């Protein structure tokens, strides 16, 4: 008979690509995880992983079995939660993944307030600029920027018109001057972001709705979006950030938006679930709690720009209450 613990270790080993990392999560020895996987393979009469001294990867059979294992664990957790339902309100565990600075500077106060309103609900919050895989990682919902296209998961819009903006501190602009067209960025210190080893040093603008990519450079680069924001506030350079990530800084005068006449990338914010069955009462109420706040911040953007950045026709999307989408690597 398949053991639930063995199944859970299989899912985490697949997600982390390592028996050692999976063992560290649950305070076991790597040999104990390896033994659990072997036991599961004997029960299933298949080989789940191809192992070597340097790598661990799923076999074709392991890839095929993984979504069923994930689904089984989700169903068991949902059943356990329902057995412990309390009439007083929400209950159980809600696991949330969010980008680094959005989570810290925008979502955190709202999520803590939501938790205070539902004291029987446990919330586990994962903040990282690495894009969460809602099918493999231990999360129920994730906040994600970007255009959502296909139908492998459910995407609920929070800020459909959110865009990237160019920002700098007043001190930097006083010292180095204010760019007036995107080409002026070549003469400035630009703070670039690294994701999965790639430096994002091409900033896109849409004058008159036509895409224009501008190469930028600078002496400071980070793989943490929150660090890029802090560097901009400290006057170390110019950043190209999601409006939601910097709106509070602009309101407080810590940062100023430049190049207002040029629309940056459209990066809508969504709350995503692996499938509709995970649209639980906790997720629904969280979404209803956050959507008005996100829309209010979006209205601030529209008021600030007074309609200057035009929607890029190439990325325009139909608006709706929910969009089903595929796994997307937008951060």
Mean pLDDT, range 153-170, rounded to an integer: 90
pTM: 0.65
| pLDDT tens digit sequence for 247-272 | 999 999 999 999 988 888 889 999 98
Q: Which domains does the chain have, with CATH numbers?
A: 4-83 (1.10.10.10), 91-331 (3.40.190.290)
Q: What is the pLDDT of residue 242?
A: 93
Q: First vs last Cα of the chain: how many Å apart?
A: 41
**Average pLDDT across the chain, whole number:** 83
Handedness of CA 154, 159, 165, 171 (dihedral sign): negative
**Helical H segments across 84-130, by residue range:** 100-102, 108-117
| pLDDT tens digit sequence for 310-322 | 444 334 333 333 3
Could you tell me if residue 86 is left (phi over 0), alpha (psi between -120 and 50 degrees) or otherwise beta? Answer: beta
Quick one: which of 181, 164, 182 has its CA closest to 305?
164
Q: What is the DSSP letter of 325?
A: E
Three-class DSSP category at 249: helix
Kindly report the number of other CB atoms within 10 A of residue 234's CB atom. Answer: 13
| pLDDT tens digit sequence for 185-227 | 999 999 999 877 788 899 999 887 788 899 999 999 998 889 9
Three-class DSSP category at 4: helix
The C-alpha angle 305, 160, 179, rounded to 5 degrees, equals 30
Bridge-based pairing state of the strands 164-168 and 153-159:
unpaired
């Amino acid at each position: 008979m398949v053991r639930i613990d063995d199944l859970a270790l299989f899912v985490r080993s697949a997600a982390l690509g390592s028996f050692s990392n999976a063992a560290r999560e649950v305070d076991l020895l790597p040999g104990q995880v390896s033994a659990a996987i072997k036991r599961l393979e004997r029960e299933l009469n298949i080989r789940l992983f191809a192992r070597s001294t340097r790598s661990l990867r799923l076999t074709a059979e392991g890839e095929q079995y993984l979504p069923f294992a994930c689904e089984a664990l989700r169903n068991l957790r949902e059943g356990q939660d329902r057995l412990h339902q309390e009439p007083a309100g929400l209950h159980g565990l809600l696991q949330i993944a969010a980008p680094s600075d959005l989570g810290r500077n925008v979502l955190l106060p709202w999520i803590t307030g939501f938790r205070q309103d539902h004291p029987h609900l446990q919330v586990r919050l994962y903040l990282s600029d690495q894009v969460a895989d809602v099918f493999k990682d231990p999360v129920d919902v994730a906040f994600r920027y970007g255009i959502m296209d296909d139908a492998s998961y459910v995407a609920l819009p929070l800020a459909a018109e959110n865009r990237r903006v160019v920002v700098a501190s007043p001190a930097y602009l006083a010292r180095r001057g204010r760019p007036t067209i995107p080409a002026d960025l070549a003469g400035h210190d630009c703070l670039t972001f690294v994701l999965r080893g790639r430096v994002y040093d091409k900033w896109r603008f849409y004058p008159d709705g036509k895409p224009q990519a501008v190469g930028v450079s600078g002496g400071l680069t980070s793989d943490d979006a929150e660090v890029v924001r802090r560097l901009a506030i400290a006057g170390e350079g110019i950043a190209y950030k999601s409006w939601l990530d910097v709106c509070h800084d602009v309101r407080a005068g810590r940062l100023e938006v430049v190049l207002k006449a040029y629309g940056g990338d459209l990066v809508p914010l969504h709350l995503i679930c692996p499938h509709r069955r995970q649209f639980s009462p906790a997720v629904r109420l969280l979404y209803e709690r956050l959507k008005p706040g996100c829309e209010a911040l979006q209205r601030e953007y529209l008021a600030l720009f007074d309609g200057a950045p035009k929607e890029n026709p190439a990325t325009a999307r139909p608006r709706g209450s929910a969009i089903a989408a595929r796994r997307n690597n937008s951060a």
